[in-house]
Structure 1
Protein backbone atom coordinates (compact mmCIF):
# COMPACT_ATOMS: atom_id res chain seq x y z
CA UNK A 1 0.00 0.00 0.00
CA UNK A 2 1.32 3.46 -0.92
CA UNK A 3 1.04 6.01 1.90
CA UNK A 4 -0.94 9.17 1.22
CA UNK A 5 1.38 12.21 0.92
CA UNK A 6 1.25 14.07 4.22
CA UNK A 7 0.91 17.83 4.76
CA UNK A 8 -0.38 19.84 7.75
CA UNK A 9 -0.24 23.49 8.78
CA UNK A 10 -1.49 25.21 11.92
CA UNK A 11 -1.34 28.63 13.55
CA UNK A 12 -1.36 28.93 17.33
CA UNK A 13 -1.41 31.85 19.78
CA UNK A 14 -0.48 31.14 23.40
CA UNK A 15 -0.90 33.76 26.11
CA UNK A 16 0.33 31.67 29.05
CA UNK A 17 3.72 30.03 29.64
CA UNK A 18 4.20 26.94 27.49
CA UNK A 19 7.12 24.52 27.23
CA UNK A 20 7.10 21.05 25.72
CA UNK A 21 7.49 18.38 28.39
CA UNK A 22 9.94 16.39 26.24
CA UNK A 23 11.80 16.66 22.99
CA UNK A 24 10.39 14.65 20.12
CA UNK A 25 11.12 13.59 16.56
CA UNK A 26 9.03 13.32 13.39
CA UNK A 27 9.21 11.18 10.29
CA UNK A 28 8.31 14.35 8.38
CA UNK A 29 10.05 17.68 7.86
CA UNK A 30 8.99 20.67 9.95
CA UNK A 31 8.96 24.43 9.39
CA UNK A 32 8.42 26.65 12.43
CA UNK A 33 7.81 30.40 11.96
CA UNK A 34 7.52 32.77 14.93
CA UNK A 35 4.89 35.42 14.24
CA UNK A 36 5.22 37.16 17.62
CA UNK A 37 7.10 36.84 20.90
CA UNK A 38 10.29 34.99 21.77
CA UNK A 39 11.11 31.29 22.16
CA UNK A 40 13.97 28.98 22.91
CA UNK A 41 14.22 26.17 20.35
CA UNK A 42 16.25 23.13 21.34
CA UNK A 43 17.57 20.96 18.48
CA UNK A 44 20.07 18.11 18.82
CA UNK A 45 21.77 19.25 22.03
CA UNK A 46 21.92 22.96 21.07
CA UNK A 47 19.68 25.90 21.96
CA UNK A 48 18.55 28.61 19.52
CA UNK A 49 17.03 31.91 20.67
CA UNK A 50 14.16 32.87 18.36
CA UNK A 51 12.74 36.35 17.87
CA UNK A 52 9.76 37.60 15.88
CA UNK A 53 10.11 36.71 12.20
CA UNK A 54 12.58 33.86 12.68
CA UNK A 55 12.13 30.62 10.75
CA UNK A 56 13.42 27.22 11.85
CA UNK A 57 13.84 24.31 9.47
CA UNK A 58 13.79 21.02 11.40
CA UNK A 59 14.99 18.09 9.36
CA UNK A 60 13.22 14.80 9.94
CA UNK A 61 14.78 12.60 12.62
CA UNK A 62 16.18 15.62 14.52
CA UNK A 63 15.04 15.72 18.16
CA UNK A 64 13.62 19.11 19.12
CA UNK A 65 11.43 21.03 21.56
CA UNK A 66 10.47 24.63 22.39
CA UNK A 67 10.42 26.44 25.71
CA UNK A 68 9.69 29.87 27.18
CA UNK A 69 11.88 32.90 26.59
CA UNK A 70 10.99 36.39 27.76
CA UNK A 71 7.28 37.16 27.48
CA UNK A 72 4.77 34.40 28.20
CA UNK A 73 2.87 35.24 24.99
CA UNK A 74 3.90 33.97 21.57
CA UNK A 75 2.32 33.10 18.22
CA UNK A 76 3.68 30.68 15.66
CA UNK A 77 2.93 28.82 12.44
CA UNK A 78 3.90 25.16 12.16
CA UNK A 79 4.12 23.09 8.96
CA UNK A 80 4.78 19.34 8.73
CA UNK A 81 5.11 17.43 5.47
CA UNK A 82 6.88 14.45 3.93
CA UNK A 83 8.91 14.13 0.74
CA UNK A 84 6.04 12.40 -1.06
CA UNK A 85 3.94 15.56 -0.84
CA UNK A 86 6.66 17.52 -2.65
CA UNK A 87 7.83 14.80 -5.03
CA UNK A 88 4.32 14.18 -6.36
CA UNK A 89 4.06 17.83 -7.41
CA UNK A 90 7.25 18.19 -9.47
CA UNK A 91 9.18 16.11 -11.99
CA UNK A 92 12.42 17.39 -10.44
CA UNK A 93 13.93 15.26 -7.67
CA UNK A 94 13.21 17.31 -4.53
CA UNK A 95 16.59 16.52 -2.95
CA UNK A 96 18.54 18.15 -5.77
CA UNK A 97 17.42 21.41 -7.33
CA UNK A 98 20.33 23.19 -8.98
CA UNK A 99 23.15 23.22 -6.42
CA UNK A 100 21.05 23.65 -3.26
CA UNK A 101 18.80 20.92 -1.81
CA UNK A 102 15.13 21.83 -1.82
CA UNK A 103 14.76 19.71 1.35
CA UNK A 104 17.91 20.40 3.42
CA UNK A 105 19.29 17.50 5.43
CA UNK A 106 20.36 19.61 8.42
CA UNK A 107 18.25 21.80 10.68
CA UNK A 108 18.92 25.55 10.74
CA UNK A 109 17.61 28.93 11.87
CA UNK A 110 16.99 31.78 9.42
CA UNK A 111 16.45 35.44 10.31
CA UNK A 112 14.71 36.92 7.23
CA UNK A 113 14.64 40.66 6.55
CA UNK A 114 11.43 42.62 7.14
CA UNK A 115 10.64 42.47 3.41
CA UNK A 116 11.26 38.71 3.32
CA UNK A 117 9.08 38.25 6.41
CA UNK A 118 6.16 39.94 4.65
CA UNK A 119 6.50 37.64 1.66
CA UNK A 120 6.74 34.56 3.85
CA UNK A 121 3.73 35.58 5.94
CA UNK A 122 1.70 36.15 2.78
CA UNK A 123 2.52 32.60 1.67
CA UNK A 124 1.67 31.21 5.12
CA UNK A 125 -1.69 32.97 5.07
CA UNK A 126 -2.50 31.57 1.63
CA UNK A 127 -1.61 28.08 2.85
CA UNK A 128 -3.72 28.41 5.98
CA UNK A 129 -6.71 29.69 4.00
CA UNK A 130 -6.46 26.87 1.48
CA UNK A 131 -5.81 24.17 4.09
CA UNK A 132 -9.04 24.94 5.94
CA UNK A 133 -11.22 24.99 2.82
CA UNK A 134 -12.46 22.26 0.48
CA UNK A 135 -11.88 24.01 -2.84
CA UNK A 136 -11.35 22.17 -6.10
CA UNK A 137 -7.68 21.24 -6.68
CA UNK A 138 -6.93 21.99 -3.01
CA UNK A 139 -4.20 19.35 -2.83
CA UNK A 140 -2.40 20.65 -5.93
CA UNK A 141 -2.67 24.26 -4.80
CA UNK A 142 -1.15 23.46 -1.41
CA UNK A 143 1.67 21.64 -3.19
CA UNK A 144 2.36 24.68 -5.34
CA UNK A 145 2.35 26.99 -2.31
CA UNK A 146 4.72 24.68 -0.42
CA UNK A 147 7.10 24.61 -3.38
CA UNK A 148 7.07 28.42 -3.46
CA UNK A 149 7.84 28.47 0.26
CA UNK A 150 10.71 25.99 -0.08
CA UNK A 151 12.19 27.95 -2.96
CA UNK A 152 11.91 31.21 -1.03
CA UNK A 153 13.59 29.62 2.01
CA UNK A 154 16.38 28.36 -0.24
CA UNK A 155 16.87 31.81 -1.76
CA UNK A 156 16.98 33.49 1.66
CA UNK A 157 19.49 30.91 2.82
CA UNK A 158 21.65 31.37 -0.27
CA UNK A 159 21.86 35.16 0.20
CA UNK A 160 22.40 35.07 3.97
CA UNK A 161 26.10 35.12 4.93
CA UNK A 162 25.47 32.44 7.56
CA UNK A 163 22.55 30.78 9.28
CA UNK A 164 22.04 31.91 12.87
CA UNK A 165 24.27 29.94 15.23
CA UNK A 166 23.08 28.38 18.49
CA UNK A 167 23.41 30.39 21.68
CA UNK A 168 27.04 30.30 22.90
CA UNK A 169 27.40 32.36 26.06
CA UNK A 170 29.82 31.12 28.70
CA UNK A 171 26.89 29.74 30.68
CA UNK A 172 25.45 27.95 27.66
CA UNK A 173 28.82 26.52 26.66
CA UNK A 174 29.08 25.03 30.14
CA UNK A 175 25.59 23.53 29.81
CA UNK A 176 26.50 22.07 26.40
CA UNK A 177 29.44 20.31 28.08
CA UNK A 178 27.06 18.87 30.67
CA UNK A 179 24.68 17.75 27.89
CA UNK A 180 27.48 15.99 26.02
CA UNK A 181 28.51 14.26 29.26
CA UNK A 182 24.93 13.06 29.88
CA UNK A 183 24.69 11.64 26.36
CA UNK A 184 27.98 9.79 26.85
CA UNK A 185 27.28 8.50 30.38
CA UNK A 186 23.47 8.06 30.54
CA UNK A 187 23.83 4.33 31.28
CA UNK A 188 25.74 5.03 34.50
CA UNK A 189 24.30 5.74 37.94
CA UNK A 190 24.54 9.54 37.85
CA UNK A 191 23.74 11.92 40.70
CA UNK A 192 23.44 15.70 40.87
CA UNK A 193 26.31 15.90 43.34
CA UNK A 194 28.56 13.82 41.10
CA UNK A 195 27.80 15.96 38.04
CA UNK A 196 28.36 19.20 39.94
CA UNK A 197 31.66 17.89 41.24
CA UNK A 198 32.77 16.74 37.81
CA UNK A 199 32.24 20.25 36.40
CA UNK A 200 33.55 22.07 39.52
CA UNK A 201 30.35 24.03 40.18
CA UNK A 202 27.72 23.96 42.89
CA UNK A 203 24.67 21.75 42.41
CA UNK A 204 22.38 24.76 42.89
CA UNK A 205 24.13 26.75 40.16
CA UNK A 206 24.20 23.73 37.83
CA UNK A 207 20.45 23.21 38.21
CA UNK A 208 19.73 26.90 37.59
CA UNK A 209 21.82 27.36 34.44
CA UNK A 210 20.68 24.02 33.00
CA UNK A 211 17.01 24.95 33.36
CA UNK A 212 17.59 28.47 31.98
CA UNK A 213 19.41 27.13 28.92
CA UNK A 214 17.40 24.07 27.96
CA UNK A 215 13.99 24.50 29.57
CA UNK A 216 14.50 21.08 31.18
CA UNK A 217 15.47 20.35 34.73
CA UNK A 218 18.64 18.28 34.77
CA UNK A 219 16.74 15.19 35.94
CA UNK A 220 14.12 15.62 33.20
CA UNK A 221 16.81 15.91 30.56
CA UNK A 222 18.67 12.82 31.74
CA UNK A 223 15.42 10.86 31.80
CA UNK A 224 14.64 12.08 28.28
CA UNK A 225 18.06 10.95 26.98
CA UNK A 226 17.56 7.53 28.58
CA UNK A 227 14.06 7.16 27.13
CA UNK A 228 15.33 8.11 23.65
CA UNK A 229 17.89 5.32 23.83
CA UNK A 230 15.35 2.90 25.25
CA UNK A 231 13.07 3.63 22.29
CA UNK A 232 15.87 2.67 19.92
CA UNK A 233 16.59 -0.56 21.81
CA UNK A 234 12.90 -1.51 21.86
CA UNK A 235 12.64 -1.00 18.09
CA UNK A 236 15.95 -2.46 17.01
CA UNK A 237 16.71 -5.33 19.43
CA UNK A 238 15.01 -8.31 21.03
CA UNK A 239 16.43 -7.56 24.48
CA UNK A 240 14.13 -8.02 27.43
CA UNK A 241 12.65 -4.88 28.94
CA UNK A 242 14.55 -5.51 32.17
CA UNK A 243 17.84 -5.54 30.22
CA UNK A 244 16.94 -2.33 28.41
CA UNK A 245 16.09 -0.64 31.71
CA UNK A 246 19.50 -1.60 33.06
CA UNK A 247 21.39 -0.57 29.90
CA UNK A 248 19.76 2.87 29.94
CA UNK A 249 20.61 3.65 33.57
CA UNK A 250 17.29 3.12 35.34
CA UNK A 251 17.54 1.76 38.88
CA UNK A 252 14.49 -0.51 38.60
CA UNK A 253 12.04 -1.87 36.03
CA UNK A 254 9.18 -0.10 37.83
CA UNK A 255 10.93 3.28 37.63
CA UNK A 256 11.75 2.66 33.96
CA UNK A 257 8.12 1.86 33.18
CA UNK A 258 6.80 4.99 34.92
CA UNK A 259 9.27 7.34 33.25
CA UNK A 260 8.89 5.71 29.81
CA UNK A 261 5.11 6.03 29.91
CA UNK A 262 5.36 9.66 31.08
CA UNK A 263 7.47 10.58 28.04
CA UNK A 264 5.84 8.42 25.37
CA UNK A 265 2.30 7.74 26.60
CA UNK A 266 2.93 3.98 26.27
CA UNK A 267 4.44 1.20 28.33
CA UNK A 268 7.71 -0.21 26.93
CA UNK A 269 5.94 -3.34 25.66
CA UNK A 270 3.19 -1.30 23.99
CA UNK A 271 5.82 0.86 22.34
CA UNK A 272 7.76 -2.18 21.09
CA UNK A 273 4.61 -3.73 19.63
CA UNK A 274 3.72 -0.53 17.77
CA UNK A 275 7.23 0.31 16.52
CA UNK A 276 9.15 -2.95 16.23
CA UNK A 277 10.93 -3.16 12.87
CA UNK A 278 9.96 -6.07 10.71
Structure 2
Protein backbone atom coordinates (compact mmCIF):
# COMPACT_ATOMS: atom_id res chain seq x y z
CA UNK A 1 0.00 0.00 0.00
CA UNK A 2 1.17 3.50 -0.79
CA UNK A 3 -0.28 6.69 0.60
CA UNK A 4 -1.56 7.66 -2.85
CA UNK A 5 -3.89 4.63 -2.82
CA UNK A 6 -5.64 5.83 0.33
CA UNK A 7 -8.99 7.63 0.31
CA UNK A 8 -8.83 11.39 0.80
CA UNK A 9 -10.03 11.14 4.41
CA UNK A 10 -9.41 8.57 7.16
CA UNK A 11 -10.51 8.98 10.79
CA UNK A 12 -10.09 7.16 14.09
CA UNK A 13 -11.77 8.18 17.34
CA UNK A 14 -13.04 11.67 18.13
CA UNK A 15 -12.03 14.80 20.00
CA UNK A 16 -13.63 13.44 23.19
CA UNK A 17 -11.64 10.17 23.15
CA UNK A 18 -8.09 9.45 24.39
CA UNK A 19 -6.77 8.99 20.84
CA UNK A 20 -8.05 10.84 17.80
CA UNK A 21 -6.45 10.48 14.36
CA UNK A 22 -7.10 12.40 11.13
CA UNK A 23 -5.61 11.82 7.70
CA UNK A 24 -6.55 14.35 5.02
CA UNK A 25 -5.63 14.88 1.39
CA UNK A 26 -6.71 18.44 0.65
CA UNK A 27 -7.00 19.75 -2.88
CA UNK A 28 -6.61 23.47 -3.53
CA UNK A 29 -5.87 26.18 -1.00
CA UNK A 30 -6.97 25.57 2.57
CA UNK A 31 -6.77 27.46 5.85
CA UNK A 32 -8.23 26.46 9.21
CA UNK A 33 -11.45 28.39 9.70
CA UNK A 34 -11.77 27.87 13.44
CA UNK A 35 -9.84 28.98 16.49
CA UNK A 36 -7.61 26.21 17.63
CA UNK A 37 -6.34 25.07 20.99
CA UNK A 38 -7.17 21.92 22.91
CA UNK A 39 -6.10 19.97 25.96
CA UNK A 40 -4.77 17.09 23.87
CA UNK A 41 -1.18 16.81 22.62
CA UNK A 42 -1.07 17.14 18.84
CA UNK A 43 1.36 15.25 16.60
CA UNK A 44 1.21 16.80 13.11
CA UNK A 45 3.10 15.40 10.11
CA UNK A 46 3.03 16.99 6.66
CA UNK A 47 3.25 14.25 4.03
CA UNK A 48 3.23 16.52 1.02
CA UNK A 49 2.83 20.18 0.13
CA UNK A 50 3.77 23.21 2.18
CA UNK A 51 2.02 25.14 4.91
CA UNK A 52 2.41 28.07 7.25
CA UNK A 53 2.17 26.99 10.89
CA UNK A 54 1.56 29.52 13.67
CA UNK A 55 2.19 28.16 17.16
CA UNK A 56 2.69 29.83 20.55
CA UNK A 57 4.05 33.16 19.33
CA UNK A 58 5.88 32.42 16.09
CA UNK A 59 5.13 31.40 12.54
CA UNK A 60 7.03 28.66 10.69
CA UNK A 61 7.00 27.73 7.01
CA UNK A 62 6.81 23.93 6.90
CA UNK A 63 7.41 21.48 4.08
CA UNK A 64 6.73 17.81 3.39
CA UNK A 65 8.57 15.65 5.92
CA UNK A 66 8.28 18.17 8.75
CA UNK A 67 6.93 17.07 12.13
CA UNK A 68 5.20 19.59 14.40
CA UNK A 69 4.54 18.96 18.10
CA UNK A 70 1.77 21.04 19.67
CA UNK A 71 1.71 21.07 23.46
CA UNK A 72 -1.54 20.99 25.37
CA UNK A 73 -3.48 24.28 25.10
CA UNK A 74 -0.99 25.92 22.73
CA UNK A 75 -2.83 28.26 20.35
CA UNK A 76 -1.99 27.23 16.79
CA UNK A 77 -3.24 27.52 13.26
CA UNK A 78 -2.19 26.41 9.78
CA UNK A 79 -2.72 28.29 6.54
CA UNK A 80 -1.55 28.10 2.96
CA UNK A 81 1.72 29.35 1.57
CA UNK A 82 2.21 29.80 -2.19
CA UNK A 83 1.32 26.26 -3.31
CA UNK A 84 -2.09 24.54 -3.15
CA UNK A 85 -2.74 20.89 -2.19
CA UNK A 86 -1.34 19.07 0.82
CA UNK A 87 -1.56 15.78 2.69
CA UNK A 88 -1.21 15.55 6.43
CA UNK A 89 -1.79 13.18 9.33
CA UNK A 90 -2.61 14.41 12.83
CA UNK A 91 -2.76 12.39 16.03
CA UNK A 92 -4.30 13.87 19.18
CA UNK A 93 -3.31 12.25 22.48
CA UNK A 94 -5.36 13.04 25.58
CA UNK A 95 -3.95 12.12 29.01
CA UNK A 96 -6.23 9.08 29.51
CA UNK A 97 -4.42 7.50 26.52
CA UNK A 98 -1.43 6.98 28.84
CA UNK A 99 -3.38 5.21 31.59
CA UNK A 100 -1.63 1.92 32.37
CA UNK A 101 1.84 3.28 31.63
CA UNK A 102 4.24 4.21 34.41
CA UNK A 103 4.87 7.86 35.23
CA UNK A 104 8.39 7.56 33.79
CA UNK A 105 7.09 6.09 30.53
CA UNK A 106 4.45 8.80 30.17
CA UNK A 107 7.02 11.52 30.85
CA UNK A 108 9.33 10.08 28.21
CA UNK A 109 6.61 9.89 25.56
CA UNK A 110 5.40 13.44 26.24
CA UNK A 111 8.85 15.01 26.67
CA UNK A 112 9.15 16.23 23.03
CA UNK A 113 6.06 18.41 23.45
CA UNK A 114 7.85 20.51 26.07
CA UNK A 115 10.67 21.42 23.67
CA UNK A 116 11.25 25.07 22.87
CA UNK A 117 11.38 24.05 19.20
CA UNK A 118 8.01 22.70 18.02
CA UNK A 119 9.24 21.92 14.49
CA UNK A 120 11.36 18.80 13.92
CA UNK A 121 13.29 18.54 10.68
CA UNK A 122 13.94 14.89 9.80
CA UNK A 123 16.65 13.55 7.51
CA UNK A 124 15.69 11.12 4.74
CA UNK A 125 16.36 7.98 6.76
CA UNK A 126 14.36 9.26 9.73
CA UNK A 127 11.54 10.33 7.47
CA UNK A 128 11.40 6.85 5.91
CA UNK A 129 11.23 5.26 9.39
CA UNK A 130 8.42 7.56 10.48
CA UNK A 131 6.45 7.14 7.27
CA UNK A 132 6.74 3.35 7.56
CA UNK A 133 4.95 3.60 10.92
CA UNK A 134 2.33 5.95 9.47
CA UNK A 135 1.68 3.68 6.50
CA UNK A 136 1.20 0.68 8.78
CA UNK A 137 -1.26 2.69 10.89
CA UNK A 138 -3.17 4.06 7.89
CA UNK A 139 -3.39 0.64 6.24
CA UNK A 140 -5.07 -0.70 9.39
CA UNK A 141 -7.49 2.24 9.44
CA UNK A 142 -8.35 1.67 5.78
CA UNK A 143 -8.76 -2.12 5.89
CA UNK A 144 -9.99 -2.55 9.50
CA UNK A 145 -8.81 -6.15 10.01
CA UNK A 146 -9.59 -7.92 13.32
CA UNK A 147 -7.78 -6.18 16.16
CA UNK A 148 -6.95 -3.09 14.13
CA UNK A 149 -7.76 -0.80 17.08
CA UNK A 150 -5.01 -2.51 19.11
CA UNK A 151 -2.53 -2.11 16.25
CA UNK A 152 -3.44 1.58 15.90
CA UNK A 153 -2.94 2.28 19.62
CA UNK A 154 0.39 0.43 19.69
CA UNK A 155 1.62 2.28 16.61
CA UNK A 156 0.55 5.58 18.16
CA UNK A 157 2.84 4.78 21.11
CA UNK A 158 5.66 3.80 18.73
CA UNK A 159 5.40 7.18 17.01
CA UNK A 160 5.87 9.00 20.31
CA UNK A 161 8.75 6.74 21.35
CA UNK A 162 10.50 7.29 18.00
CA UNK A 163 10.16 11.05 18.45
CA UNK A 164 11.27 11.09 22.10
CA UNK A 165 14.42 9.15 21.24
CA UNK A 166 15.08 11.40 18.26
CA UNK A 167 14.84 14.53 20.41
CA UNK A 168 17.13 13.04 23.07
CA UNK A 169 19.77 12.16 20.46
CA UNK A 170 19.67 15.61 18.92
CA UNK A 171 19.08 18.07 21.73
CA UNK A 172 18.70 21.03 19.36
CA UNK A 173 17.28 20.18 15.98
CA UNK A 174 19.31 21.53 13.05
CA UNK A 175 17.21 24.15 11.32
CA UNK A 176 14.72 24.41 14.17
CA UNK A 177 15.81 27.96 14.92
CA UNK A 178 14.37 29.28 11.68
CA UNK A 179 15.30 32.85 10.85
CA UNK A 180 12.28 35.12 10.89
CA UNK A 181 11.73 37.92 8.42
CA UNK A 182 11.56 41.44 9.95
CA UNK A 183 7.76 41.41 9.62
CA UNK A 184 7.46 37.98 11.25
CA UNK A 185 9.75 39.10 14.08
CA UNK A 186 7.66 42.23 14.61
CA UNK A 187 4.45 40.19 14.84
CA UNK A 188 6.17 37.68 17.16
CA UNK A 189 7.07 40.56 19.49
CA UNK A 190 3.47 41.82 19.40
CA UNK A 191 2.07 38.35 20.10
CA UNK A 192 4.42 37.98 23.08
CA UNK A 193 3.24 41.38 24.35
CA UNK A 194 -0.39 40.25 24.07
CA UNK A 195 0.39 36.99 25.88
CA UNK A 196 1.94 38.92 28.77
CA UNK A 197 -0.57 41.79 28.99
CA UNK A 198 -3.91 40.27 27.94
CA UNK A 199 -5.46 41.25 31.30
CA UNK A 200 -4.95 44.92 30.41
CA UNK A 201 -6.76 46.98 27.74
CA UNK A 202 -5.19 46.15 24.37
CA UNK A 203 -6.14 48.50 21.56
CA UNK A 204 -4.91 48.26 17.99
CA UNK A 205 -4.00 51.97 17.98
CA UNK A 206 -1.91 51.65 21.14
CA UNK A 207 0.04 48.61 19.95
CA UNK A 208 0.62 50.17 16.54
CA UNK A 209 2.22 53.18 18.22
CA UNK A 210 4.17 51.02 20.67
CA UNK A 211 5.69 48.90 17.92
CA UNK A 212 6.13 51.71 15.37
CA UNK A 213 3.79 50.33 12.73
CA UNK A 214 0.67 51.81 11.17
CA UNK A 215 -2.68 50.62 12.43
CA UNK A 216 -3.81 49.34 9.03
CA UNK A 217 -0.52 47.60 8.32
CA UNK A 218 -0.52 45.93 11.75
CA UNK A 219 -4.05 44.64 11.28
CA UNK A 220 -3.21 43.21 7.85
CA UNK A 221 0.14 41.60 8.59
CA UNK A 222 -1.03 40.20 11.94
CA UNK A 223 -3.67 38.22 10.04
CA UNK A 224 -1.19 37.22 7.32
CA UNK A 225 1.44 35.98 9.74
CA UNK A 226 -0.64 34.34 12.48
CA UNK A 227 -3.82 33.39 10.62
CA UNK A 228 -5.83 35.12 13.36
CA UNK A 229 -7.44 38.54 13.37
CA UNK A 230 -5.97 40.93 15.96
CA UNK A 231 -9.08 41.03 18.18
CA UNK A 232 -9.71 37.33 17.63
CA UNK A 233 -6.30 36.38 19.01
CA UNK A 234 -6.76 38.58 22.09
CA UNK A 235 -10.16 36.98 22.77
CA UNK A 236 -8.71 33.47 22.41
CA UNK A 237 -5.90 34.26 24.86
CA UNK A 238 -8.34 35.69 27.41
CA UNK A 239 -10.82 32.82 27.10
CA UNK A 240 -8.04 30.24 27.56
CA UNK A 241 -7.21 31.90 30.88
CA UNK A 242 -10.90 32.03 31.82
CA UNK A 243 -11.25 28.28 31.20
CA UNK A 244 -8.34 27.62 33.53
CA UNK A 245 -9.78 29.82 36.28
CA UNK A 246 -13.22 28.22 35.98
CA UNK A 247 -11.61 24.81 36.50
CA UNK A 248 -9.12 25.69 39.21
CA UNK A 249 -10.71 28.45 41.32
CA UNK A 250 -14.03 29.21 42.96
CA UNK A 251 -14.01 32.80 41.72
CA UNK A 252 -17.29 34.19 40.51
CA UNK A 253 -17.79 34.37 36.77
CA UNK A 254 -17.84 38.17 37.02
CA UNK A 255 -14.47 38.14 38.81
CA UNK A 256 -13.01 35.88 36.13
CA UNK A 257 -14.36 38.06 33.34
CA UNK A 258 -12.74 41.16 34.82
CA UNK A 259 -9.48 39.39 35.67
CA UNK A 260 -9.11 38.18 32.07
CA UNK A 261 -9.42 41.69 30.65
CA UNK A 262 -13.08 41.81 29.58
CA UNK A 263 -14.65 45.18 30.33
CA UNK A 264 -18.10 44.01 29.25
CA UNK A 265 -19.58 40.94 30.97
CA UNK A 266 -22.04 40.16 28.18
CA UNK A 267 -19.18 40.25 25.65
CA UNK A 268 -17.27 37.79 27.84
CA UNK A 269 -20.24 35.41 27.91
CA UNK A 270 -20.67 35.63 24.15
CA UNK A 271 -16.98 35.04 23.42
CA UNK A 272 -16.72 32.21 25.93
CA UNK A 273 -19.62 30.30 24.41
CA UNK A 274 -18.33 30.93 20.89
CA UNK A 275 -14.83 29.64 21.64
CA UNK A 276 -15.52 26.98 24.28
CA UNK A 277 -18.87 25.71 23.06
CA UNK A 278 -20.61 26.25 26.41
CA UNK A 279 -21.60 29.21 28.61
CA UNK A 280 -19.13 29.76 31.49
CA UNK A 281 -21.41 28.31 34.16
CA UNK A 282 -22.10 25.16 32.17
CA UNK A 283 -18.40 24.80 31.39
CA UNK A 284 -17.50 24.93 35.09
CA UNK A 285 -20.19 22.40 35.96
CA UNK A 286 -18.95 20.00 33.27
CA UNK A 287 -15.33 20.27 34.42
CA UNK A 288 -16.30 19.72 38.06
CA UNK A 289 -18.25 16.64 37.01
CA UNK A 290 -15.14 15.26 35.27
CA UNK A 291 -13.05 15.79 38.41
CA UNK A 292 -15.63 14.29 40.76
CA UNK A 293 -16.41 11.41 38.44
Short-chain TM bin: 0.7 to 0.9
Distance 1:256 1:72, change over 3 A: farther
Distance 1:139 1:35, change over 3 A: same
Distance 1:83 1:185, change over 3 A: closer
- 8 Å Cα contact 2:44/2:68 also seen in 1: yes
The total of aligned residue pairs comes to 269
Aligned pairs for 1:1-278 (under 5 A) are 6-15=18-27, 16-26=29-39, 28-82=40-94, 85=97, 88=100, 93-95=104-106, 101-104=108-111, 105-107=113-115, 108-158=118-168, 160=170, 162-163=172-173, 164-165=176-177, 168-276=180-288
Q: After TM superposition, which residue ranges in structure 1, 4 or more long, deviate above 6 angstroms?
A: none
- 8 Å Cα contact 1:30/1:57 also seen in 2: yes
Structure with more helix by fraction: 2
Distance 1:79 1:199, change over 3 A: same
- 8 Å Cα contact 2:56/2:76 also seen in 1: yes
- 8 Å Cα contact 1:46/1:167 also seen in 2: no
The alignment's TM-score, normalised by the length of structure 1, stands at 0.83
Alpha-carbon distance in structure 2 between the residues aligned to 1:271 and 1:257: 11
Question: Residue 126 of structure 1: CA displacement?
Answer: 1.1
RMSD: 2.8
- 8 Å Cα contact 1:10/1:128 also seen in 2: no
Residue in 1 that maps onto 2:9: none
Unmatched 5+ residue regions in structure 2?
Answer: 1-16
- 8 Å Cα contact 1:49/1:167 also seen in 2: no
State the SS of the aligned residue for 2:195. helix
Alpha-carbon distance in structure 1 between the residues aligned to 2:152 and 2:258: 47
| Deviations 1:230-278, CA, capped at 9 Å, x for gaps | 1112212222222222222223122111211221121111211112355
